[in-house]
Amino acid sequence: MSISGIEGVQASAGTSYLPAIAEGSGGGAFGASLGDALVNLQGLQSTSGALAVKAATGSLDDIHQATIASTRSAVTLELVSTLRIKGVDAFNEIMRMQA
């Protein structure tokens, strides 16, 4: 059994892990990027869950795929959570400046 690099895991999942950012489309691009990131996170979590079930039932040949998918999902969730917190903080700061 050979160990594939991260590129092999990305190819097997069939998804890109970075949201596409439309250039020059104004403020809508930021909202679209956040929406794409949430859809991407949901896909990562479902892939991680499916691989975890396969690993638990013994039908997964390479346990590294499940471990990498689980870690990628956890890190992405932490990133999205941090971005949400920073966005709320920025909004509150703007509201405070207007008062």
pLDDT digits (tens, 9 = 90+) for 19-72: 454 455 556 787 788 888 889 999 999 999 999 999 999 999 999 999 999 999
Place of tokens 């104004």: 26
Residue type at 67 in one-letter notation? T
Please give the Cα distance from 54 to 70 (Å, whole number): 13
Give me the residue spans of the domains in the chain. 24-98
What is the signed CA dihedral for 68, 10, 74, 61, rounded to 10 degrees? -30
Question: pTM for the complete prediction?
Answer: 0.65
The predicted-structure confidence for 7-20, as pLDDT tens digits, reads as follows: 444 445 555 544 45
| Cβ atoms of 18 and 30 closer than 8 Å | no
Please give the Cα distance from 74 to 58 (Å, whole number): 23
